[in-house]
Amino acid sequence: MNRKVSNRFGSHTMRLAQFVMAAAASSLLAGCASNQAASLARPQDPAGKVAALGFAGEARGADAFPLYQSFRPVSHSALNGRTIAVARISDIALRPKEVVLTFDDGPMPGKTSKILETLDDYGVGATFLMVGEMAHYHPDLVREVAQHGHTIGTHTYRHANLRTMSPDAAMAEIRKGQASVAEALAPIGRRPAPFFRFPYLADTQSLRKRLASEGITTIDVDIDSKDYFRSSAESVRSRALDAVEKHGRGIILMHDIQTRTAAMLPQFLADLKSRGYTVVRLSPADRSAPLVASAE
């Protein structure tokens, strides 16, 4: 299977960029308006706060929060597949008719919770690649996702296009996103998994290598639901299902900031189930590894 699928999306990178940012803007602006004072008052370096909590420091990082996630028992849904322990990209070796559900850009009030309900109904686990700023404004939702047993990775702090940034600035943006999600999970003793997805799927080989060298696995995309296009829930469902059938297996990209995605998910999962697919969970292989690399 082609793991370099992100390169295939280069042509619609700008459309994706415009759409995702437009979709996220209303929520982010609403959050900014109501949290402006708090935002101005908070430290400019969330990593500093996280260090104080014991995430970033080498001494306490692993011991203070030993669990990334702990999956609660799930029903014996025919759709519920195996769990893969992931230390590197090559570990995500899917068999025919195995899919991974991923949701980017959240968490978002009113939408993420609906998606969690549907996933519960089918007893399946997903991976949420969260934007740090969204986690900052909605930490309760971050914890809700974790408490439903799903895997949480990150997606930068501000949904930045990392190709436009220097490598050091890009890494700082990635770490800021990790730190924000880690801060939201700290009260329940959890940490995000060291899983990362490039916003707009705009990766670079050097950043991919650097992330890998730090134990952070890039989560690529095989099947794009294209739920960021303005279309009906039914269109998203049928398009995503067609793409799944075409590929036969793979990592599916969806967004939990989209109403149409939350609306189509019940029938989409029913379709996958009736066609004999199983949903595979991704779990971090090394749960004791430090989340945020020490300062260079």
List residues near Zn ion by CB under 5 A.
104-105, 199
Helices and strands of the chain, counted as H and E runs: 11, 9
Decide whether 131 or 186 has the Cβ nearer to Zn ion. 131
Which tokens in the block code for residue 160? 């930045």
Alpha-carbon dihedral of residues 132, 133, 138, 142, nearest 10 degrees?
-10
Residue 184 CB, nearest distance to Zn ion (Å)? 18
Residue 188 CB, nearest distance to Zn ion (Å)? 25
Decide whether 21 or 67 has the Cβ nearer to Zn ion. 21
- Is there a contact between 67 and 191 (Cβ–Cβ < 8 Å)? yes
Residue 288 CB, nearest distance to Zn ion (Å)? 29
Residue 104 CB, nearest distance to Zn ion (Å)? 4
CA distance 170 to 191: 21
CA distance 93 to 71: 21
Residue 186 CB, nearest distance to Zn ion (Å)? 24
Decide whether 65 or 200 has the Cβ nearer to Zn ion. 200
Q: Among candidates 9, 80, 2, which has minimal Cα distance to 226?
A: 9
Decide whether 56 or 162 has the Cβ nearer to Zn ion. 162
Residue 54 CB, nearest distance to Zn ion (Å)? 29
Decide whether 159 or 249 has the Cβ nearer to Zn ion. 159
Decide whether 239 or 255 has the Cβ nearer to Zn ion. 255
Decide whether 105 or 203 has the Cβ nearer to Zn ion. 105
CA angle at 133 for the pair 131 and 139, rounded to the nearest 5°: 90
Per-residue b or e along 142-177, where b marks 16 or more CB atoms closer than 10 Å to that residue's CB: bbbbbebbbbbbbbbbbbbbbeebeeeebbbbbbbb
Residue 219 CB, nearest distance to Zn ion (Å)? 12
Per-residue b or e along 239-250, where b marks 16 or more CB atoms closer than 10 Å to that residue's CB: bbbebbeebbbb
Decide whether 27 or 278 has the Cβ nearer to Zn ion. 27
Residue nearest to Zn ion (CB): 104
Residue 187 CB, nearest distance to Zn ion (Å)? 26
Residue 250, C-beta contacts closer than 8 angstroms, at least 6 positions apart: 1, 94, 99, 100, 222, 223, 244
Handedness of CA 233, 234, 240, 241 (dihedral sign): positive
Which tokens in the block code for residue 14? 């700008």
